[in-house]
Amino acid sequence: MSDSVISFADLGLPPTMLKALEALGYETPSPIQAAAIPALLGGHDIIGQAQTGTGKTAAFALPLLARIDPQRPGPQVLVLTPTRELAIQVAEAFQRYAHGMPGFHVVPIYGGQAMGQQLHQLRRGVHVVVGTPGRVMDHLNRETLSLANLSALVLDEADEMLRMGFIDDVQWILEHTPATRQTALFSATMPEAIRAVAQRHLKQPREIKIKAKTSTVEAVRQRYWQVGGLHKLDALTRILEVEEIDAVLIFVRTKTATVELADKLEARGYACAALNGDMNQAQREKTIEQLKNEELDIVIATDVAARGLDVPRISHVVNYDIPHDIEGYVHRIGRTGRAGRTGEAILFVAPREVRMLRAIERATRQPIEQMRAPTLHAIAGRRVAQFRQAVAEHLAHDDIDYFESLVREMAEENDVDPARIGAALAYMVQRERPLRVDGSTAPPPMPDAPAERPDRQERQERPARPARQEPPPRQRPAAMPSGPSWSSAVEQSEPEPRAPAAPRATPDIDPRATPLKDHPDVTMVRYRIDVGTAHGATPKHIVGAIANEAGIESRFIGRIDMFDEFTTVDLPSGMPNDLLQHMKKVRFGKFRFNMAPLGDDPGNDAAARDGSRPPRPRAPRSDAPAHRDGPGGRPPAGPGARRSFSKPPGKR
């Protein structure tokens, strides 16, 4: 094709119509118009496949209008659309394009509108009818509409009509129109059922397929993850770990949620910032500036605060809370895929939000694919790749010359291969982010992905985790707990050394707590949580909350008994007091956990009296030793403890 711009006049449209187009401000035909108009003017059937907003209405309305004979009675063109809104829009478009055709009549007919008015307009004589399939069928059945003189029929948004269950009605209508008619079928997608309709009812159609133009939404790959409530944080940390992220914008619903989530991520070692309407302009600009110049990779925002945000390096948008409406969704995901780049949008969808997901899909006419929880292997694989790359990038660095001789010296001193020294260093560096997937080093399985859990057999065969001698670290990401040790997910202001003999806030052993099956050596304590089935909680919620908030792997969460008003759960002994205090404040919806060891729970007896469970004696203190890791097993904060992202350093 030549570079010269095609004009509407080149397409063979009559002068009156060109005038109307000029008045509307249309300068040049869109690609679908350039292809469809000559074909329809030439009397051919067509199949037009193009995304929404590509100008399909004019693509069929202009040529079909040009072929209308104003003197002939009865409707000459019928357009079927999936919704009444579209019927009205298309009818209005016809009216506008027919500006230079005096006496031209178009009528939209759709359900929900009084039949009488439509009848009146139909009787008055119309050239074009635009309607929804159901109402068109009604009129045909009542013989208030005759299509005997129909010369052209358009199926607009055929895939949408299929999706809405109108396809049989559409076929019925097709069968009740003259076989001599010209047919145009438009659809954003071409499912098999639509192809079948085309095959049956169109005559040697010209196929016109316009590649999706790269508009904001189209440049964004959209995925969703069915995860709700308390599991979302866990899902998010997995995403942060495995996705190829440059910068990520996370949307939540409220101002407080921006701060809360930022706190939780910081507690897990991610540098991030909140962006909300409570911040003044200068603060907001500073955060955005940091995001732009790569000082910051994670921003948690409200819709209002992120309005119009234009930072091309945002590679991911995470809809942590589902948006209120479709426009909100489109705006949010439009924050990525900017400046000709591609973007990723991930939507967290709770089971009760699935309807909203479908509504978004319908409105944006883009499928949103289900995301699979990253497997432990994927996470480990990515860590290994990042580790390799980071090391490789440092090999050429002048600064390592000194260390090279140091390593040689150490190898000689210890009479080991230098590789062994390298291995020790690698271990030190990666201790916090273990590179191998095994029972002692893997990140916690997602509650929503039970299939990813190693099976019991496998777990039992695993070697015990090496005991740790190092001084306790400040914190570690809760996404990677590494044993039944207690590590508070509560943000610590100060390093808090925990000697094995540190005073315990909680009883070590409740003799009624069942030992943990796979870890008989782990002593368990039974706790009570003031959230039960009456609050809508399920064991999954409880496990998720404890896993997320306490930073413990779900496999170290023991027996759970749920009652109407409360739940009991067995957890490894030695929970630090600060963590217990935090767990008291954790909420399931509006309901506070008020978690407490059963032994000190004053509500215990009352609950026992009301018969909802058997009475229990208070937990006696025990002298039995705590679990070997006790409360001291905090992994060290490696060099990357306050890491921003798990991305390879080379990307920065």
Q: Which residues bind ligand ADP (CB under 6 A)?
A: 26, 29-30, 33, 50, 52-58
CA nearest neighbour of 362 among 523, 214, 175, 160: 160
- Separation between Cα atoms, residue 416 and residue 619, nearest integer Å: 52
- Closer to Mg ion at the Cβ: 82 or 445? 82
Q: Which of Mg ion, ligand ADP, none lies near 226, with the C-beta cut-off 5 to 8 A by kind?
A: none
Please state the closest distance from residue 54 (CB atom) to Mg ion, in A.
8
- Closer to ligand ADP at the Cβ: 26 or 591? 26
Please state the closest distance from residue 360 (CB atom) to Mg ion, in A.
19
- Closer to ligand ADP at the Cβ: 128 or 637? 128
DSSP state, residue 247 = E
Q: How far is CA 119 from CA 115, 126, 135, 138, 228, in A?
A: 6, 11, 12, 12, 50
Q: Which of ligand ADP, Mg ion, none lies near 183, with the C-beta cut-off 5 to 8 A by kind?
A: none
Please state the closest distance from residue 102 (CB atom) to ligand ADP, in A.
22
- Separation between Cα atoms, residue 116 and residue 463, nearest integer Å: 81
Q: How far is CA 522 from CA 107, 217, 583, 626, in A?
A: 76, 51, 20, 8
What is the distance, to the nearest Å, from the Cα of residue 492 to the centroid of all Cα atoms in its chain?
31
Please state the closest distance from residue 164 (CB atom) to ligand ADP, in A.
17
Please state the closest distance from residue 49 (CB atom) to Mg ion, in A.
12
DSSP state, residue 192 = H
Please state the closest distance from residue 194 (CB atom) to ligand ADP, in A.
16
- Separation between Cα atoms, residue 640 and residue 141, nearest integer Å: 73
Q: Which of Mg ion, ligand ADP, none lies near 182, with the C-beta cut-off 5 to 8 A by kind?
A: none
Please state the closest distance from residue 171 (CB atom) to ligand ADP, in A.
22
- Closer to Mg ion at the Cβ: 157 or 629? 157
Q: Which of ligand ADP, Mg ion, none lies near 617, with the C-beta cut-off 5 to 8 A by kind?
A: none
Q: How far is CA 281 from CA 187, 238, 284, 494, in A?
A: 45, 32, 5, 32
CA nearest neighbour of 313 among 251, 214, 246: 246
Strand 220-226 with 369-370, pairing: parallel
What is the distance, to the nearest Å, from the Cα of residue 639 to the centroid of all Cα atoms in its chain?
31
Please state the closest distance from residue 203 (CB atom) to Mg ion, in A.
23
- Closer to ligand ADP at the Cβ: 42 or 53? 53
- Separation between Cα atoms, residue 347 and residue 286, nearest integer Å: 27
Residue 183 bridge partners (DSSP):
153
Please state the closest distance from residue 357 (CB atom) to ligand ADP, in A.
22
- Separation between Cα atoms, residue 303 and residue 305, nearest integer Å: 6
Q: How many CB atoms are closer than 10 A to CB 123?
A: 9
CA nearest neighbour of 638 among 470, 501, 519, 490: 470
Q: Which of ligand ADP, Mg ion, none lies near 29, with the C-beta cut-off 5 to 8 A by kind?
A: ligand ADP
Where do the DSSP E strands lie in 156-258?
A: 182-187, 206-209, 220-226, 247-251
- Closer to Mg ion at the Cβ: 56 or 433? 56
What is the number of helices (H) and of strands (E) in the chain?
21, 20
Which helix (DSSP H) or strand (DSSP E) does residue 501 occupy?
none
Residue 208 bridge partners (DSSP):
48
Please state the closest distance from residue 273 (CB atom) to Mg ion, in A.
41
Q: How many CB atoms are closer than 10 A to CB 216?
A: 15
Q: Which of ligand ADP, Mg ion, none lies near 626, with the C-beta cut-off 5 to 8 A by kind?
A: none
- Closer to ligand ADP at the Cβ: 20 or 311? 20
Is 13 in contact with 60 (CB distance < 8 Å)?
Answer: no
Please state the closest distance from residue 485 (CB atom) to ligand ADP, in A.
58
Q: Which of Mg ion, ligand ADP, none lies near 53, with the C-beta cut-off 5 to 8 A by kind?
A: ligand ADP
Please state the closest distance from residue 27 (CB atom) to Mg ion, in A.
20
Phi/psi zone of residue 574: left (φ > 0), alpha (ψ -120 to 50 degrees), beta?
left
Q: Which of Mg ion, ligand ADP, none lies near 387, with the C-beta cut-off 5 to 8 A by kind?
A: none
- Closer to ligand ADP at the Cβ: 52 or 594? 52
Residue 78 bridge partners (DSSP):
129, 153
Q: How many CB atoms are closer than 10 A to CB 474?
A: 16
Q: Which of Mg ion, ligand ADP, none lies near 42, with the C-beta cut-off 5 to 8 A by kind?
A: none
Angle, helices 577-585 vs 539-550, to 10°: value is 130
- Closer to ligand ADP at the Cβ: 156 or 508? 156
- Separation between Cα atoms, residue 616 and residue 512, nearest integer Å: 9
- Closer to Mg ion at the Cβ: 56 or 284? 56
- Closer to Mg ion at the Cβ: 155 or 227? 155
Please state the closest distance from residue 25 (CB atom) to ligand ADP, in A.
7
Please state the closest distance from residue 575 (CB atom) to ligand ADP, in A.
58
> Alpha helices of 551-646 — where are they, by DSSP H?
577-585, 603-609
Q: Which of ligand ADP, Mg ion, none lies near 83, with the C-beta cut-off 5 to 8 A by kind?
A: none
Q: Which of ligand ADP, Mg ion, none lies near 58, with the C-beta cut-off 5 to 8 A by kind?
A: ligand ADP
Q: Which of Mg ion, ligand ADP, none lies near 54, with the C-beta cut-off 5 to 8 A by kind?
A: ligand ADP
Q: Which of ligand ADP, Mg ion, none lies near 30, with the C-beta cut-off 5 to 8 A by kind?
A: ligand ADP
- Closer to Mg ion at the Cβ: 56 or 582? 56
- Closer to ligand ADP at the Cβ: 160 or 303? 160
Q: Which of ligand ADP, Mg ion, none lies near 563, with the C-beta cut-off 5 to 8 A by kind?
A: none
- Closer to Mg ion at the Cβ: 57 or 482? 57
58-85 as b/e: b if 16+ CB within 10 A: bbbbbbbbbebeeeeebbbbbbbbbebe
Please state the closest distance from residue 163 (CB atom) to ligand ADP, in A.
16
Residues making contact with Mg ion (CB under 5 A): 56
- Closer to ligand ADP at the Cβ: 63 or 544? 63
